[in-house]
């Protein structure tokens, strides 16, 4: 094709008649709202780990000022983390088609020449690199963490956390520059009546815009004939998002919706043949826990506090007052269980055994597990004090299965799944 420019730096190279300010603006405004919610729920999710409580909870010890917002995570409502993290993950996955369509709609801009016309223009283009790179990085790391065995070098948490700050800073700058135009573009189209059914024909009397930063430069100067209307293309993107939403959200809901979570590796209707009738994250086998470690004759819970250390067998624990609470498990990966019926000893009663009669302090929980990131966790005083917080021995009327943490595990209301340490060996009460 002799009339088709070879180089993407030539405006004529980009021929899709779909590109234009309206298409980009609609997608941009959806992302403006969606990414803001993702950022806020992401920061909230990080606060839920109580990283400012103890080094074991803190995955980003060098965060400095970026931790300014951290707060003590509450213990209610019990579905709190289920909701915030379910929203974060479901929304993130739902927005993938919107993000890709938005990037596609502006891709000619990445190739404009000259690369920078002025210092201001250079700065704007650098911020765009951070925006596009940061966005792709955040969505990629997030989806990989949820869907696959994590494959990035380094821990997910610092990468996703620092990446979020870089991405969101560039995002705020970009939104401040572009949102007013986007709102105006969408408003104008709505005022002028119906959405454009067909992309504007390549009218001979409208010359290509000369200013490459003008919104209309998104319009191809030599568009190919349309095969789908802009509205149709938008419907396609929306349909893709809806499909992802419907095949993801079930993992965070209960009941029949769980069957719809076709995309979720965990959290589906079939708990993987799991014992106790709900989902398993890491199995006992994976964690290296053997029956020899957990046998009644061998296993002892070591509880330390103000007045010293006590060692309790399972039988000792069963002689303490037993309490029940109905609580879900809600994983950072976005899946959660419906409420399960846990039974065991209150954490505050265990604190009382080692000298804390009134308000119990923080507790440092250690598992029998020898390796792995989630074998230890620190809980805040408000979490140990909550009467629903248990060292659980039973769930749903049965002994804990090996995979769910036999002989004893932590269950705390409203907290991320990682705080619910399985195969507990040691509790150390005291201010952390
Ligand atoms: N010792 C130990 N406890 C652990 C984990 C672990 O890897 N090791 N995983 C945590 C995570 S991330 C979650 S979501 C829950 C899952 O509990 P379940 O497998 O009983 O559903 O256990 C938590 N407790
Ligand atoms: Mo988890």
Residue 346 has pLDDT above 60, yes or no: yes
Measured in Å, residue 217 CA sits from the centre of ligand 2 at: 46
Report the residue among 265, 267, 287, 374 best suited for mutation to probe ligand 1: largest number of ligand atoms under 8 A from its CB.
Answer: 374
- How far is the centre of ligand 2, averaged over its atoms, from the C-alpha of 130 (Å)? 30
* CA 418 – ligand 1 centroid, Å: 6
Determine the pLDDT at residue 212: 43
Average model confidence (pLDDT) across the chain? 90
How many Å lie between the centroid of ligand 1 and the Cα of residue 331?
8
Which atom of ligand 1 lies at the shortest distance from residue 369's CA?
A: 1
For ligand 1, the distance from its centroid to the CA atom of residue 423, given in whole angstroms, is 9
Q: Which atom number of ligand 1 is nearest to the Cα of residue 410?
A: 24
Q: What is the pLDDT of residues 197-230, one digit of tens each?
A: 455 554 444 444 444 445 457 899 889 999 999 9
Domains defined for the chain, CATH in brackets: 11-255 (no CATH), 284-429 (3.90.420.10)
Q: Which pLDDT score is estimated for 39?
A: 98
Ligand 1 pocket: which of 422, 423, 425, 426 to mutate (most atoms within 8 A of CB):
422
Ligand 2 centroid, distance to 334 Cα (angstroms):
8
Residue 335, C-beta contacts closer than 8 angstroms, at least 6 positions apart: 251, 252, 261, 264, 266, 267, 279
Q: What residue's CA is closest to ligand 1, atom 5?
A: 374
The ligand 1 atom at the shortest distance from the C-alpha of residue 333 is 14
pLDDT tens-digit readout, 119-148: 988 888 888 999 999 999 999 999 999 876
Question: What residues contact residue 270 under an 8 Å CB cut-off, 6+ apart?
Answer: none
Which ligand is closest to the CA of 419, given by its number?
A: 1
What pLDDT, on the 0 to 100 scale, is given for residue 325?
98
Confidence check: pLDDT of 268 > 50: yes
Contact residues of ligand 1, CB 6 A cut-off: 279-282, 287, 329, 331, 367, 369, 372, 374-375, 404, 417-418, 420-423
Does 57 score more than 90 pLDDT? yes
Cα 420 to averaged position of ligand 2 atoms, centre (Å): 9
């Amino acid at each position: 094709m002799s009339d088709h420019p070879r180089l993407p730096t030539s405006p004529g190279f980009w021929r899709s008649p779909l590109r234009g300010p309206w298409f980009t603006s609609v997608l941009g405004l959806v992302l403006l709202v969606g990414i803001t919610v993702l950022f806020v729920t992401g920061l909230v999710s990080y606060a839920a780990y109580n990283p400012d409580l103890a080094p074991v909870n803190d995955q980003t010890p060098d965060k400095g000022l970026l931790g300014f917002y951290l707060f003590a995570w509450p213990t209610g409502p019990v579905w709190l983390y289920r909701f915030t993290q379910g929203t974060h993950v479901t929304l993130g996955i739902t927005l993938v088609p919107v993000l890709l369509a938005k990037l596609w709609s502006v891709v000619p801009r990445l190739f404009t020449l000259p690369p920078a016309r002025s210092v201001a223009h250079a700065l704007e283009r650098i911020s765009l690199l951070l925006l596009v790179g940061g966005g792709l990085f955040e969505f990629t790391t997030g989806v990989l963490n949820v869907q696959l065995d994590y494959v990035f070098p380094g821990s997910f948490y610092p990468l996703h956390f620092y990446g979020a700050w870089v991405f969101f800073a560039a995002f705020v700058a970009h939104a401040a520059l572009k949102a007013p135009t986007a709102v105006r573009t969408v408003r104008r189209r709505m005022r002028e009546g119906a959405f454009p059914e067909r992309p504007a024909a390549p009218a001979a009397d409208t010359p290509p815009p000369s200013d490459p930063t003008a919104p209309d430069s998104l319009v191809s100067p030599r568009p190919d004939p349309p095969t789908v209307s802009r509205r149709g293309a938008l419907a396609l993107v929306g349909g893709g998002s809806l499909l992802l939403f419907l095949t993801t959200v079930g993992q965070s809901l209960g009941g029949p919706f769980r069957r719809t979570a076709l995309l979720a590796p965990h959290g589906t209707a079939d708990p993987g043949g799991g014992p106790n009738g709900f989902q398993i994250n890491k199995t006992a086998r994976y964690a290296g826990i053997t029956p020899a470690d957990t046998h009644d004759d061998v296993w002892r819970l070591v509880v330390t506090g103000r007045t010293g250390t006590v060692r309790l067998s399972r039988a000792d624990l069963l002689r303490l007052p037993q309490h029940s609470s109905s609580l879900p498990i809600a994983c950072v990966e976005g899946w959660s269980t419906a409420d399960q019926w846990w039974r065991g000893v209150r954490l505050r009663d265990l604190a009382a055994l080692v000298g804390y009669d009134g308000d119990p302090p923080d507790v440092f929980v250690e598992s029998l597990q020898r390796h792995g990131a989630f074998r230890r966790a620190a809980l805040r005083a408000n979490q140990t004090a909550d009467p629903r917080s248990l060292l659980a021995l039973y769930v749903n009327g049965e002994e804990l299965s090996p995979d769910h943490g036999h002989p004893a595990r932590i269950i705390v209301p409203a907290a991320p799944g990682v705080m619910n340490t399985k195969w507990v060996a040691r509790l150390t009460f005291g201010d952390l």
